[in-house]
Amino acid sequence: MADVAKLAGVSISTVSYALSGARPISEATRGRVQWAVEQLDYQPNIMARGLAGRRTGFLTLLLPTDETPADSFMIDIIVAAAEAARERGYHLLLWTEPTGESAGVKDLMRRGLIDGALLLSVRLHDDRVSALRGAGVPLTMIGRTQDTDGSHFVDSDAEQAAEVAIAHLAELGHTTVAYVGPPRSAYDDGIGIVIRIHDSLVRSAERHGLRLIPAFAERKVAASARAISELMAAEPEISAVLTLDDSAIAGVLDGLRSIDHSVPSDVSIIGLLVSPEVAEMAWPKATTVSHDPRDLGRLGVLAMIDSLDGVSDRATQFLLPSELVERSTTAPRQAASR
Amino acid sequence: MADVAKLAGVSISTVSYALSGARPISEATRGRVQWAVEQLDYQPNIMARGLAGRRTGFLTLLLPTDETPADSFMIDIIVAAAEAARERGYHLLLWTEPTGESAGVKDLMRRGLIDGALLLSVRLHDDRVSALRGAGVPLTMIGRTQDTDGSHFVDSDAEQAAEVAIAHLAELGHTTVAYVGPPRSAYDDGIGIVIRIHDSLVRSAERHGLRLIPAFAERKVAASARAISELMAAEPEISAVLTLDDSAIAGVLDGLRSIDHSVPSDVSIIGLLVSPEVAEMAWPKATTVSHDPRDLGRLGVLAMIDSLDGVSDRATQFLLPSELVERSTTAPRQAASR
DNA sequence: TTGTAGGCGTTATCAT
DNA sequence: ATGATAACGCCTACAA
């Protein structure tokens, strides 16, 4: 930077201001500085900037890692977040920490490394949120807590997604619907999206006069396969199944095959909030009610940066609506015949 | 740090040395420093350390992003890399950049941000490697170039994987085997693993006296489905299929179903280098010849750090062997009967 | 074994 | 509108 100043014939601080635009600089000198910068192919040192300034340009994404390995949906979020950060001149740190813990992130903040943190797999009552808030870490959630007053978040609109899915099944004439959801532990942990989807499904089903039979299955193919076959044995009138996880959909297909129910002629399936890749990989290709997971990552980062910049006086809160994408696992209900 | 020094009754530099262990410190003072550190819950500032020292503690993972969205296999690599970095006290930056480009990473280096870079999707002749080398960026490849002299890498042992897969099919009595590989563009780009797997399969097939019929398919379910059905039409004696990508295996299953070939009784399938998650999601569950993708990420980071620390005088080069995991897509060849 | 002091490359606070 | 200069918090010769 000193070199640039010399070459441009100005002081070091002028160069700094010309580059940051933090104070008015005459056109003439700004031009000379620009020229010198290009001449020397100068790139400001990030560490020095972070040390001296009050912004480091780093964001971190807190990735819960004790859970199931990240599925496609989450991956899409992460990669999109990285891209968005890069586009806005920020750097995205991938920080793995067991669910519910945030000591590491707090340290990152105290060590002057990050400007803020993005949270994944947010619980309705999330200790991390209060801990990080208390530590003065700006944060935005991908997902959301129960009480969202004044907090920044981007989340899937569970209520709307549930309604779309249930309404579609109702239209198709289904009256008894199973829901193969995440394991009980996810409910016990109070994972926001899990609880909201469940509750919303219950409400929507009621509104449409459908009977909804929930089940819980570990996030493994075999577990959801077992869940659905047990469910079908107990409640043979089930003619449609809703699922939440990437693995659940494959498992349900598996389970139905094992008991000789064909999809979609005997049983319809709708996958909630699944990535398009996984939906396409299933056989038959799965009908879904979902949105682009990438939006969660992208908007999350943008919301974070906006809040850092203080562009808005109130918190940015996005609720992403889902769309029904009909593939090959849904059909009108058949007249009972078996 | 000044506070710690005061509390411990020593100089600032003593604290620094006590913490870094860069020079001998008496037990007594080291103890006092330790105590003061804990007392104040002191955490060294990362930016300052990066500015003053010659190490920043940052690594970056170069993620090609113009290609197909990252599949499970790659994700596992990434997450494992993040975990390994964290365990070793490093920070992992996710850097998205179009395949083949490295200007961004070079800048990261010049801006004093990173200690080194990890490369994914390495080509046999990769411009990034020479560019980064030229710019003095320490790098280790996850994958490898053709010429590996003096470079650090962790890669799947394609030769061995191909041999295991072919040998198994040979044992099962198959004599004509299709290979639904990646799209031609991947070959044209010279992606290392793609070429190596292909060439190794050819050699192994020859060695075992099998006929190998390769095909190229875009990384989409529909594309590989079409590829295999065309292949079967042209060469009806095919009784086994090898695949490379996560999506290919679903596609091949799809395609075979569409032409009424059942798996594995009519046709066997082996997926090469696929993540266990995807193998389990397929139906039937796919037999694979693979290794834990996480090893690639973990070992890659460790190799990088070792090279940074200069622990070894020669380059660390790992070739990971694969294992056959029999699931439900392989069976002995049936006597021709259709 | 320990202390002193200069420097890392910016930003921010004073002046001018 | 611009300059000089003190932080920023740590590392590392150099001295003692």
Please report which confidence band the pLDDT of residue A1 belongs to, taking 50, 70 and 90 as the band edges.
Answer: confident
CA of B13 to C1' of D16 (A): 15
Model pLDDT, residue B117: 96
Rounded Cα gap, residues B246 and A36, in angstroms: 50
CA of A44 to C1' of C11 (A): 12
**What are the Cα distances from residue A312, in Å, to A81, A152, A298, B138, B180?**
21, 11, 18, 42, 52
Rounded Cα gap, residues A67 and A330, in angstroms: 31
Rounded Cα gap, residues B114 and A58, in angstroms: 13
Rounded Cα gap, residues A27 and A18, in angstroms: 10
Q: In A, which residues are within 8 Å of B42 by CB distance?
A: none
Q: In A, which residues are within 8 Å of B78 by CB distance?
A: 94
For residue B109, pLDDT over 60 is answered with yes
Q: How does pLDDT run across B156-215, given as a tens digit for each residue? A: 999 999 999 999 999 999 999 999 999 999 999 999 999 999 999 999 999 999 999 999
Which residues are paired to B95 by β-bridges?
A: B62
Sign for the CA dihedral angle at B15, A45, B55, A59 comes to: positive
Which residues are paired to A61 by β-bridges?
A: A94, A118
CA of B20 to C1' of C1 (A): 16
- A61 CA to chain B: closest CA distance, Å? 10
* Contact yes or no for B98/B64 (Cβ under 8 A): yes
Please tell me whether residue A102 adopts helix, strand or coil conformation.
coil
- B48 CA to chain A: closest CA distance, Å? 6
Q: In A, which residues are within 8 Å of B112 by CB distance?
A: 45-48
Model pLDDT, residue A18: 94
Q: Cβ separation of B69 and A86 shorter than 8 Å?
A: no
Residue type, A250: A
Q: In A, which residues are within 8 Å of B247 by CB distance?
A: 277, 280-281
Q: How many CB atoms lie within 10 A of CB A192?
A: 24
Model pLDDT, residue B98: 85
- A158 CA to chain B: closest CA distance, Å? 25
Question: Quick one: average pLDDT of A115-136?
Answer: 94
Share of chain A above pLDDT 70, in %: 98
Q: What are the residue ranges of helices labelled H in chain B?
A: 2-8, 12-20, 27-40, 46-52, 72-87, 103-110, 127-134, 158-171, 184-189, 192-208, 221-234, 246-258, 276-281, 293-309
| Residue pairs spanning A and B at CB distance below 8 A | 135
For residue B338, pLDDT over 60 is answered with no
Q: Cβ separation of B82 and A94 shorter than 8 Å?
A: yes
For residue B48, pLDDT over 60 is answered with yes
Rounded Cα gap, residues A296 and B337, in angstroms: 53
CA of B135 to C1' of C3 (A): 38
Model pLDDT, residue B336: 58
For residue A68, pLDDT over 80 is answered with no
Q: How does pLDDT run across A149-174, given as a tens digit for each residue? A: 999 999 999 999 999 999 999 999 99
Q: Which residues touch B149 (CB under 8 Å, ≥6 apart)?
A: none
Share of chain B above pLDDT 70, in %: 98
Please tell me whether residue A178 adopts helix, strand or coil conformation.
strand
Domains of chain A by start residue, with CATH: 2-44 (1.10.260.40), 58-156+293-322 (3.40.50.2300), 158-291+324-336 (3.40.50.2300)
Query: What pTM did the predictor assign?
Result: 0.93
Q: How does pLDDT run across A169-208, given as a tens digit for each residue? A: 999 999 999 999 999 999 999 999 999 999 999 999 999 9
DSSP readout, B118-156? EE-S-BSS-HHHHHHHHTT--EEEES--S--TT-EEEEE
Rounded Cα gap, residues A297 and A299, in angstroms: 6
Model pLDDT, residue B312: 84
Q: Which residues touch B34 (CB under 8 Å, ≥6 apart)?
A: B18
Question: Quick one: average pLDDT of B116-139?
Answer: 93
* Contact yes or no for A96/B79 (Cβ under 8 A): yes
Question: Quick one: average pLDDT of A255-272?
Answer: 96
Please tell me whether residue B181 adopts helix, strand or coil conformation.
strand
* Contact yes or no for B197/B212 (Cβ under 8 A): no
Model pLDDT, residue A13: 93
Model pLDDT, residue B82: 95
Q: How does pLDDT run across B50-75, given as a tens digit for each residue? A: 999 889 999 999 998 876 777 889 98
Q: How many CB atoms lie within 10 A of CB A198?
A: 21
Q: How does pLDDT run across A186-195, given as a tens digit for each residue? A: 999 999 999 9
Q: Spell out residues with C-beta < 7 A from strand D.
A: A 9-14, 17, 23-26, 28-30, 48, 51-52, 112; B 1-2, 12-13, 16-17, 19-20, 22, 44-45, 48-49, 51-54
- Neighbour order of strands in the sheet with A240-243: A211-216, A176-181, A240-243, A268-272, A287-290, A323-325
Please report which confidence band the pLDDT of residue B87 belongs to, taking 50, 70 and 90 as the band edges.
Answer: very high
